[in-house]
Amino acid sequence: AVCMGVATAANWTWNFLISFFTPFISNTIDFPQYTETQAHMIPVVTSKWINNCVARKRQGPVRPYSPDPRMIFSNVVVACANIPDTDKESILGAVMALGGQESKDAGKMTTHICALSMDHPKIEAAQAKKWKGKIVLPHWYALETAPAPSSQYAFLCANAKL
C-alpha cells in the first residue's frame, strides 16, 4: 500500500511538473497522445508559441496558440462597449469557449471591440490612441463554423480598419 501511495504521488508530481513547465508543441492535434494531454490538462501549443516566448524572454500564454481547429477564436481578444450585460456575457462566453480572450479595454493585445454604436468612450479612447483593431457589431461572432469576416459586420467610418 505504501508503494502504491508513493507511485501515485510520484506520478502526480511528474504530470504536474510536465504540465507546468512543458506544453506539448505541435501544429496539429493529429498525434496519439493528444487525448491524453487533454485529459491531464497539459497544454498543446503551436510552434508560434516558441517565437512568442523568445520575443518576450519568458513563458507566454498558451491559450492563443492552440492547434485545435475548433478553437476558431484563438487569435481573438475582444472588448465590449455599450452592449447589454446579458448579451455581453453571451458574446464573451462564446468567444472564450472557442479559444478567444476577453479584454476590459482596447489595449495593444485587443483585436476587436464589439459595440452597437461608435459613440462610446471606450471606442473614442481607442481611436484617440490610433488603436489598430476592428470595431464590429455583436453579430460578428455568430457563425457556427468560423468567425464572420469582420468586413461584413464592421462599422463603416473613416477610422475603422477592415
- pLDDT for 76 beyond 80: yes
- pLDDT for 147 beyond 70: no
Residue 108 burial (CB count, 10 A): 10
Vertex 67, ends 23 and 88: CA angle to 5°? Answer: 100
- Residue 113's DSSP bridge partners are 79, 135
Name which residue leads in pLDDT, 111 or 149: 111
Average of per-residue pLDDT across 102-118: 88
Whole-angstrom Cα distance, residue 159 to residue 113?
A: 13
- The DSSP code sequence of 122-145 is HHHHHHHTT--SEEE-GGGG--SS
- pLDDT recorded at residue 141: 72
Q: Residue 37 has which C-alpha cell?
A: 494531454
Please give the mean pLDDT across all residues of the chain: 81
pLDDT band at 154 (very low <50, low <70, confident <90, very high): low
Name which residue leads in pLDDT, 28 or 42: 28
Q: What is the pLDDT of residues 111-135, one digit of tens each?
A: 999 998 888 888 888 888 988 888 8
Q: What is the pLDDT of residues 12-31, one digit of tens each?
A: 776 666 555 678 888 999 98
- pLDDT recorded at residue 79: 93
- pLDDT recorded at residue 161: 44
